Amino acid sequence: MKNILVLPGDGIGPEITTEAIKVMNAAADAYGFTLNFDFARIGASAIYKDGNPLPDETVEKAERADAILLGAVGLPEFDGEKDPNRRPEMGLLGIRKKMQLYCNIRPVKTYEAIKHLSPLKEEIINGTDFVIFRELTGGIYFGNKGRSADGQTAYDDCSYSVHEIQRIAQLAYEEAMRRDKKLLLADKANVLETSRLWRETVTAMNKNYPEVKLDYQYIDNAAMQVVLRPSQFSVIVTENMFGDILSDEASVIIGSLGMLPSASYGIKTALFEPSHGSYPQAAGKNIANPMATILSAALLLQYLGFNDAAKAIENAVDQALTQKVCTMDINPGKPSSTSAVGDFIAQTVKANAKIAVH
Ligand code: IPM
Ligand code: MN
């Protein structure tokens, strides 16, 4: 039995995690394993209840879990808050840092059935299938930050150690070996010292993976290439903030941010969450797209070793798209509700498992 900690968070978080749990339970049933779900608070919902976006209890539970599923954090009420104890995002940044979730993986691939939703031309997006390895616990996000005494100057330091670069680069190289042996480092080595250390370190590691063809692009060029010729990419490894920006941009290729899952690997455990935000305007309306969270749940099951179940979920999402059982971001003419999409995917997982057995 595996213990999964669910952190529903804010906005649409509770609804989309409910659907992901529904689908995981269906997969567990169909493939004969047991999952145990526990819950804890994070983000604005924790600020309201506990006065802090990342209560100790949440961290303690996270440390004991085999894997963590997160919905989303953030509410407009807290925009512009200066006190870190009143900033929902601090819950997310806090758990990443505390659990040392240093490697954030964001797969980007097009779905045949929703190609028309992309603002990019079909001939550009055809064949897109890459993955961004974003460093998640270092860089400018976590450096010293502050203001000068007169308040007229602000700073956010960016630093990286060889160790921090090596541990994510190793995972990126391994992924390149599983794919077509192409790795791209996106950096700003023409300007930044941290980027030069990234280049040196990632280049030196190439001798351990001699079959991998390592390439480099400056991040500004990479940002352009991602929408110009996305099919050129396979595995992109990059630092924290570059990866943040590049992954939102990459979601445009697919046509909906509601389709982009993510996995964050750490030393002890891993956390899975959609790449989108908490979409507070849709909260409680049963209209939000649960697919990115359901696909994140598939990555979670894969991480726990339930590969067939994970694959079955991905196939069921494909079927939902093909049969247009989709929320209004994808099928505005005849939208299904959040829970109806979850029901369909859960049932499809079960039905496909039955067919596979016979
Ligand atoms: C993400 C988000 C977060 C980030 C925010 C909410 C702090 O944009 O997961 O990409 O910048 O990492
Ligand atoms: Mn982001």
> In 181-286, which ranges are continuous DSSP H helix?
193-205, 219-228, 240-254
* CA-based nearest residue to 105, from 233, 222, 275, 231: 275
Residue 249 Cβ contacting ligand 1 at under 6 Å? no
Closest by Cα among 72, 74, 104, 108 to 252:
108
Q: Which residue ranges make up each domain of the chain?
A: 1-109+256-358, 119-253
Nearest-CA residue for ligand 1 atom 5 is 89
What mean pLDDT comes out for the span 225-246?
A: 97
The per-residue pLDDT for 261 is 96
Average pLDDT over residues 75-96: 94
Q: Is the CB of 246 under 6 A from ligand 1?
A: no
Pocket flag, ligand 1, residue 89 (CB < 6 Å): yes
Given a contact cutoff of 8 angstroms between Cβ atoms, the answer to whether 314 and 292 are in contact is: no
In whole angstroms, give the CA distance from residue 169 to residue 165. Answer: 6
Matching CATH topology for 1-109+256-358 and 119-253?
yes
Query: What is the per-residue pLDDT for 358?
Result: 54
CA of 241, nearest ligand number: 1
- Average pLDDT of the chain is 96
pLDDT band at 253 (very low <50, low <70, confident <90, very high): very high
Mean pLDDT of 279-291: 97
β-strand partners of 154: 147
What are 103-138's pLDDT values in tens digits? 999 999 999 999 999 999 999 999 999 999 999 999
* Rounded average pLDDT over 250-271: 93
Position 256 confidence tier, pLDDT thresholds 50, 70, 90: confident
If you measure from the C-alpha of residue 244 to the centroid of ligand 1, how many angstroms do you get, rounded to a whole number?
Answer: 7
Mark the residues whose beta carbon lies below 5 A from ion ligand 2: 244
The pairing of strands 182-187 and 145-147 is unpaired
Residue nearest to atom 10 of ligand 1 (CA): 244
pLDDT band at 207 (very low <50, low <70, confident <90, very high): very high
**244 close to ligand 1 (CB < 6 Angstrom):** yes
Which of 55-59, 78-82, 147-151 is predicted least confidently? 78-82
Task: Please check the confidence at residue 355 and state whether its pLDDT lies above 80.
Answer: no
Q: Which residue has the tokens 């440390």?
A: 63
User: Measured between alpha carbons, how far is 148 from 146 in angstroms, rounded to an integer?
Assistant: 7
CA of 43 to the centre of ligand 2 (A): 15
Provide DSSP, 293-305. Answer: HHHHHHHHHHHTT
Report, as residue numbers or ranges, the catalytic residues: 141, 188, 220, 244, 248
Radius of gyration of the chain (CA): 20
Mean pLDDT, residues 305-334: 97
Assign domain 1-109+256-358 to a CATH class: alpha beta
Element (H, E) at 4: strand 2-9
Quote the ligand 2 centre to 243 CA distance (angstroms): 8
pLDDT (mean) for 3-7: 98
**Residue of 89, 136, 238, 246 best suited for mutating to test ligand 1, as the one with most atoms within 8 Å of CB:** 89
Residue 245 alpha carbon to ligand 2 centre in Å: 6
pLDDT band at 357 (very low <50, low <70, confident <90, very high): low
Q: Which CATH number fits domain 119-253: 3.40.50.2000, 3.40.50.1110, 3.50.30.10, 3.40.718.10?
A: 3.40.718.10
What is the mean pLDDT of the segment spanning 259-288?
A: 95
Give dist(CA 47, CA 100) in Å, integer.
22
In order of 260, 287, 341, the CA distances from 281 in angstroms are 20, 10, 19
